[in-house]
Amino acid sequence: MNVSLRVAAAQAECVPGDVPANVATAVSLVGSAADRGARLVVLPELFLTGYDPGGWAVEHAVATDDPRLEPLREVADERGVVVVTGAALRRGADRRDHRGGGADDDGHGAGHDRPTVGLLVVDDAGAVSAPYDKQHLFDAERGFFGPGDHGASIVVDGWELGLGVCYDGCFPEHAAAAARDGAAAYLCPSAYLVGSEHRRDLYYAARALDNGIYVVFSGLTGRCGDHEFNGGSAVYDPEGRALDRVGSESPAVAVADLHPAEVVRVQRMNPIARDRLASLGDRTRQVAGAL
């Protein structure tokens, strides 16, 4: 990790279950981000299939070899960018396919399981992988999706980038695990409902400050099915300050440069990871005052 990395957190509305339409929107966002020099583009949670139960059926879920992804492969290749985007993902029940082989990527045949809230990574040659599934499922998601069973990072231009999805980022230990394993940034595609802006803006800034790493937060915006989302895509520096942030507009892109020296500086100044205790020991309780 010797060079800076320009990243983009992009947002737009998506259509439940209409993968081709959502891919077309993703292509437009990637083009806009590439025009601003982005090397990495992060799109929201479940963006390609929609954040609505109407788009969560197995027939709408995608796999890494899905032909509907071809326009996204092409733009990543043509513009030389890496794209991280959310989708309802078909996987085999044993999950070996996202660790380098095993079950069929299309989810058919033996071991077929419920879809996952997955992250697709399209590299700058147009190759598609699916290294991560959301581990902390929220509310109604549990009735449709299976949870992920491991953490994951990707490496872009020497930068190790931890992966999370929305609710994952509400748990300090999730980003901390990525940072402990060497991540200098945490990518978190998300979907926050209107009215939850205060939580959205606290969680991901805190994850940056907790660990002295950058956080790239991409939030769904506009209406999707019965829900309305608030956007707020942002890039946070290792001290939790927003380097660039957009509101609820659609489409919109936040762009910022990540600098390796800044990660080093902040982690030396505020060495939380070093000073984090492995255990807080037994807990005692004392009643003070007369009953």
Domain boundaries along the sequence of the chain: 5-275
pLDDT band at 55, cuts 50/70/90?
confident
Q: Write out the H or E segment, with its range, that includes residue 83.
A: strand 82-89
What is the reported pLDDT for 273? 84
186-203 pLDDT, tens digit per residue, is 999 999 999 999 999 999
Does the pLDDT of residue 95 top 50, yes or no? no
Average pLDDT, the chain: 92
What is the reported pLDDT for 41? 98
Spell out the residues 6+ positions from residue 160 whose beta carbon is closer than 8 angstroms to its own.
1, 153, 154, 181, 182, 183, 184, 185
Does the pLDDT of residue 102 top 60, yes or no? no
| Token digits of residue 88 | 């309802």
How many distinct helices (H) and strands (E) make up the chain?
6, 14
Does the pLDDT of residue 255 top 90, yes or no? yes
Residue % of the chain over a pLDDT of 90: 86
What is the reported pLDDT for 221? 98
| Token digits of residue 255 | 């762009």
Does the pLDDT of residue 104 top 50, yes or no? no
What is the reported pLDDT for 176? 97
What is the reported pLDDT for 111? 34
Question: Which range, of 36-45, 97-106, 153-162, 256-265, averages the lowest pLDDT?
Answer: 97-106
For residues 60 and 241, which has the higher predicted lDDT (pLDDT)?
Answer: 241
Q: Which of 114, 217, 130 is closest to 166 using CA atoms?
A: 217
What is the reported pLDDT for 223? 95
Spell out the residues 6+ positions from residue 43 whose beta carbon is closer than 8 angstroms to its own.
10, 11, 26, 29, 83, 84, 85, 86, 189, 218
- Provide the 10 A C-beta neighbour count for residue 19: 21
Task: Give the residue-averaged pLDDT of 250-260.
Answer: 98
pLDDT band at 159, cuts 50/70/90?
very high
Does the pLDDT of residue 92 top 70, yes or no? no
Question: Which range, of 30-44, 118-132, 264-278, averages the lowest pLDDT?
Answer: 264-278
Residue % of the chain over a pLDDT of 70: 92
Does the pLDDT of residue 219 top 80, yes or no? yes
The three-class DSSP label of residue 232 is coil
pLDDT band at 289, cuts 50/70/90?
confident
Q: Which CATH architecture group holds 5-275?
A: 4-Layer Sandwich (3.60)
Q: Which of 239, 258, 243 is closest to 158 using CA atoms?
A: 258
What is the reported pLDDT for 290? 80
